[in-house]
Chains A and B, each alone.
Chain A
Amino acid sequence: MAEYPDDLRFLASHEWARLEEDGLVTVGISDFAQEELGDVVFVELPELDAELAARSEAGVVESVKAASDIYAPVSGTVVAINEALEDAPETVNDSPYDDGWFFRISPTDPAELDGLLSAEDYRRHCEEESH
Chain B
Amino acid sequence: MGHRTTLYPQHVQAGARFVDFAGWEMPVHYGSLVQEHHTVRGHAGAFDVSHMTVVDIRGLEAGRFLSRVLANDVRRVGPRKAIYSAMLNAEGGILDDLIVYPLNDEYRMVVNCATRNKDLAWLREQLAGDQCTIDARDDLSIVAVQGPQAISACLKAFPVAHHEVLENLKVFEGTPSGTWYIARTGYTGEQGVEVIVPNEEVVDLWQELNTMGVQPIGLGARDTLRLEAGLNLYGSDMDESVTPFESNMAWTVVLEDREFIGRQALTEQLARGVQRNLVGLVMDGKGVMRAGYPVFCDDRPVGSVTSGAFSPTLSKSIALARLSDTRGQMCVGIRGRKLNVEVVRPPFVKNGKQVFKPAISS
Contacts and interface: CB of A to CB of B under 8 A. Distances in A.
A41 B290 CA distance: 14
Given A62-B310, A64-B312, A65-B309, A39 B34 contact: yes
Interface in B158-216: none
Given A64-B220, A64-B310, A65-B220, A42 B32 contact: no
B290 A67 contact: yes
Interface string B219-257: 010011000000000000000000000000000000000
A38 B33 contact: yes
Contacts, number: 37
Contacts of B309: 64-65
B310 A41 contact: yes
Given A38-B33, A38-B220, A42-B310, A60 B286 contact: no
Contacts of B220: 38, 64-65
A39 B288 contact: no
A65 B219 CA distance: 11
B29 interface: yes
Contacts of B286: 42, 44
Nearest to B290: A67
A64 B287 contact: no
B118 interface: no
Contacts of B29: 38
Contacts of B33: 38-39, 64-65
Nearest to B37: A64
Interface in A18-69: 38-39, 41-42, 44, 60, 62-67
Interface residues of B, number: 15
A43 to B, nearest CB: 9
A38 B312 CA distance: 13
A66 to B, nearest CB: 8
B337 to A, nearest CB: 10
Contacts of B32: 38-39
B290 A64 contact: no
Contact of A62 (B34, B224, B287, B312): B287
19 contacts: A38-B34, A39-B32, A39-B312, A42-B286, A42-B288, A42-B310, A44-B286, A44-B287, A62-B287, A62-B288, A62-B310, A63-B310, A64-B34, A64-B312, A65-B220, A65-B223, A65-B309, A66-B290, A67-B288
Interface of A: 38-39, 41-42, 44, 60, 62-67
Given A39-B312, A41-B310, A44-B287, 20 more contacts: A38-B33, A38-B220, A39-B32, A39-B33, A39-B34, A41-B288, A42-B286, A42-B310, A62-B287, A62-B288, A63-B310, A64-B34, A64-B224, A64-B288, A64-B309, A64-B310, A65-B33, A66-B290, A67-B288, A67-B290
